A and B are shown apart, each in its own frame.
Chain A
Amino acid sequence: AQSVTQLDSQVPVFEEAPVELRCNYSSSVSVYLFWYVQYPNQGLQLLLKYLSGSTLVKGINGFEAEFNKSQTSFHLRKPSVHISDTAEYFCAVSLTSGTYKYIFGTGTRLKVLA
C-alpha cells in the first residue's frame, strides 16, 4: 500500500521569502508524484507532477519540486512567495498503472504574510 505524509499542517511565511513544503511518501512499487493547490472555494489545481526523467520538476506559478528516491521525498519549493500563494497544498501519489487513483497527504496550509 502507498501512503503520503505532509508533516506541516500550517506554514506561515513572509511575502518575498522562500518556502519549502515537505512531502514524504511510502510505496513498495514505482509511483507518480503530484502537487495540487486549492484556493478558497475552488477545486484542486495541478501545480506539477513527476512521472519520470529529470528529478527536478518545474510547475506553474514559479513552483518547483525535487524527487528524491533515496529519501522518498517530493518537497515543493518557491524562491519568493506572494500573497496570492496563500492556499492549501496537497501532495499525492498514484500507481503507474491501473485506476491511477490518488493517495493524498493531509495538506499544508500556506499563509503568506505581508
Chain B
Amino acid sequence: EAGVTQFPSHSVIEKGQTVTLRCDPISGHDNLYWYRRVMGKEIKFLLHFVKESKQDESGMPNNRFLAERTGGTYSTLKVQPAELEDSGVYFCASRQTGYGYTFGSGTRLTVV
C-alpha cells in the first residue's frame, strides 16, 4: 500500500510569491489533515477534510492560506502571497475513519 505522498519535498521561494503544496493521501482515506511546524516550535494543526469538505479549519493562520481537496482525493495548500513567517515544514496526514493517522514526509518551505 502506498503511503501519504507530499511534494515538493523542499521549496524555496521569495517573499511575495505563491507556492502550492500537494498531498496525495492513502486511497480510501476519507480524512485528510494538514499540520505545520515552524522552526523550533510545536507541530500545529491547520485543517481537516472529510472527503472534499472542510470539517475544521480553525488552525489556518490567515486568508493567505487556501486549502482544497479535489473530489475527495488529493489536497493542495496554497500560500499567496508568502511571507517570511510561513517558513516551516508542512505535514499532511490521512486517516480512514475509525483508524489511526498516516503522515507524509512533509514539505520544507523556505521563504526568503
CB proximity of A23 to chain B, nearest CB, Å: 12
1/0 per residue, CB under 8 A from A, across B88-104: the answer is 00010101000011011
A105, closest chain B residue (CB): B42
Asked whether A107 lies within 8 Å of B42 as measured between CB atoms, the reply is: yes
Contacting pair B106 A43 (CB below 8 A): yes
Closest to B108 in A: A41
Chain A contacts for B45, CB-based, 8 A: 101-103
| A99 at interface by CB-CB < 8 Å | yes
Q: Is B35 an interface residue (CB 8 A)?
A: yes
**Contact partners of A106 in chain B: CB under 8 A:** 40-42
Q: Mark A96-114, 1 if CB is under 8 A from B, else 0.
A: 0011111111110000000
Given contacts A100-B95, A102-B43, A105-B42, whether A42 and B105 have CB atoms under 8 Å apart is yes
What is the bound-complex CA distance between A44 and B59, given in angstroms?
19
CA distance A90 to B101 in the complex (A): 14
A44 x B103 contact (CB < 8 A): yes
What is the size, in residues, of chain A's interface with B at 8 Å between Cβ atoms? 21
In this complex, what residue of A is CB-closest to B48?
Answer: A99
**A49-B59 Cα distance, complex, nearest whole Å:** 24
From A42, A45, A99, A105, give the contact of B56 (CB < 8 A).
A99
Known: A101-B33, A101-B56. A43 touches B103 (CB 8 A): yes
Per-position 1/0 for B67-105, Cβ under 8 A of A: 000000000000000000000000101010000110111
What's the nearest-Cβ distance from chain A to residue B35, in Å? 7
By a CB distance below 8 angstroms, the chain A residues around B105 are 41-43
Residues on A with C-beta less than 8 A from B44 are 104
- B55 within 8 Å of A (CB atoms): yes
Residues of B with C-beta under 8 A to A107: 42-43
7 closest A-B pairs by beta carbon, nearest first, are A44-B103, A43-B103, A104-B43, A43-B105, A101-B45, A99-B56, A106-B42
